[in-house]
């Protein structure tokens, strides 16, 4: 379905939403009237990742509001004659757009920040619970088999190691602390007040985290400095029975290193992010032992979706007013 506003006013800029997640559509639709005071608006309510279709829908767009769409440089080049602003429904825009190339084409890129700190943190802990308490898997087995026996593992008393201490890492630490876990954190710019309040051990290096923690969870933005920052050597430091969680970005881990470590069969992993996405049917991770996999949904809570849309609409309105908001 296509929803339009103000299309008869051809003198106004054109804002296009070429695709959206169904759960995001109601929030976007409610915001269209705000944009329509300054521009024409066309919203496609389905979610397609077909790039030819995306390009057709963005023809003559001055502003593109996007989520989950990977723009290669050829696409940006083709859109550049009219496109002046691209908003991305998330924080990791560098995974989806070559920001420097967009800037070279005079395309403003805006993202959303801190909208999903709590949602992603909760999902991180949910993966931990599924690994240790197996509630989802035991539900399936109980329905199919009647009364399967299984031991579980308590989280209280474990050491949670966190790599990176921004909004999400901060919230994970609070939740883990509330569960009775000990904490060790490595961060370039630590929030000392929070670290002191939670009784966190401050790691001198990432090595310390992997060597000491029972559970390791990275919470870093993906950029040139963090890509591959977690290496095979780090993963080899995990003791048997340790748990690796990743709800941040798969590319933080050296390519292939996690699969190799998991194939030893002596650690566990809870993963919500992959490279590439969607996860291919023949991806080695699908066959790795001791894993819980979810399809990059940690950010998709009702509150987070509303926050994304609100920030993206603010970015569009600011751009149309000759100002800026959440520029990358």
State the CATH number of the domain containing residue 126. Answer: 3.40.50.720
Tell me the backbone φ, ψ of residue 314, rounded to 5 degrees.
Answer: -60, -40
Residues 133 and 173 in one domain: yes
Half-sphere exposure of residue 288, counting CA atoms within 13 Å on the CB side? 22
Same-domain pairing of 76 and 159: no
Overall pTM surpassing 0.85 (yes/no): yes
Residues 48 and 164 reside in one and the same domain:
no
The encoded tokens of residue 310 equal 């609100």
Cβ partners under 8 Å of residue 204, min gap 6: 186
Contact yes or no for 328/110 (Cβ under 8 A): yes
Q: Is residue 327 part of a domain?
A: no
Q: 326 near 308, Cβ under 8 Å?
A: no
pLDDT at 121: 98
Using 70 as the pLDDT threshold, list the residues of the chain that sit under it: none
pLDDT of residue 46: 94
- What is the Cα–Cα distance from 48 to 17, expressed in whole angstroms? 11
Give the strand pairing for 159-163 and 268-271: unpaired
Instruction: Give how many domains the chain has, as a whole number.
Output: 2
Report the distance separating Cα 225 and Cα 238, nearest Å: 23
User: The domain containing residue 159 runs over which residues?
Assistant: 117-293
Q: Facing residues of 254 across strands?
A: none
For residues 58 and 22, the answer to whether their CB atoms sit within 8 Å is no
Positions marked active-site:
249, 296
pLDDT, residue 91, reads 81
Is 279 part of any domain? yes
CA–CA dist 165, 195 (Å, integer) = 10
Asked if residue 135 and residue 99 are part of one domain, the reply reads: no
């Amino acid at each position: 379905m296509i929803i339009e506003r103000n299309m008869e006013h051809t003198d106004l800029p054109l804002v296009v939403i070429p695709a959206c997640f169904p759960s995001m559509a109601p929030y976007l639709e409610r915001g269209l009237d705000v944009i329509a005071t300054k521009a024409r608006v066309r919203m496609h309510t389905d979610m397609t990742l077909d790039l030819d279709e995306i390009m057709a829908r963005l023809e003559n767009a001055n502003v593109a509001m996007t989520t989950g769409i990977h723009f290669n440089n050829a696409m940006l080049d083709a859109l550049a004659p009219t496109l002046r602003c691209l908003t991305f429904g998330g924080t990791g825009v560098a995974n989806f757009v070559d920001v420097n190339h967009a800037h070279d084409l005079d395309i403003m890129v805006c993202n959303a920040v801190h909208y999903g700190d709590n949602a992603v943190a909760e999902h991180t802990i949910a993966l931990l619970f599924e690994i240790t308490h197996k509630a989802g898997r035991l539900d399936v087995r109980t329905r199919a088999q009647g009364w399967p026996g299984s031991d579980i593992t308590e989280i209280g008393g474990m050491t949670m190691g966190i790599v990176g201490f921004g909004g999400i890492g901060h919230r994970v630490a609070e939740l883990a602390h509330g569960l009775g876990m000990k904490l060790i954190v490595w961060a370039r710019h630590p929030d000392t007040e929070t670290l002191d309040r939670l009784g966190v051990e401050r790691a001198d290096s990432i090595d310390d985290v992997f060597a000491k923690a029972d559970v390791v969870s990275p919470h870093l933005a993906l950029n040139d400095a963090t890509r591959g920052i977690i290496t095979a050597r780090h993963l080899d430091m995990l003791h048997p029975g340790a748990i690796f969680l990743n709800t941040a970005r798969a590319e933080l881990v050296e390519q292939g290193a996690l699969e190799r470590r998991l194939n030893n069969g002596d650690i566990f992993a809870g993963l919500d992010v992959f490279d590439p996405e969607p996860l291919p049917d023949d991806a080695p991770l699908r066959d790795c032992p001791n894993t819980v996999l979810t399809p990059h949904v940690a950010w998709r809570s009702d509150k987070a979706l509303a926050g994304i849309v609100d920030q993206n609409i603010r970015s569009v309105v600011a751009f149309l007013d000759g100002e800026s908001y959440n520029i990358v």
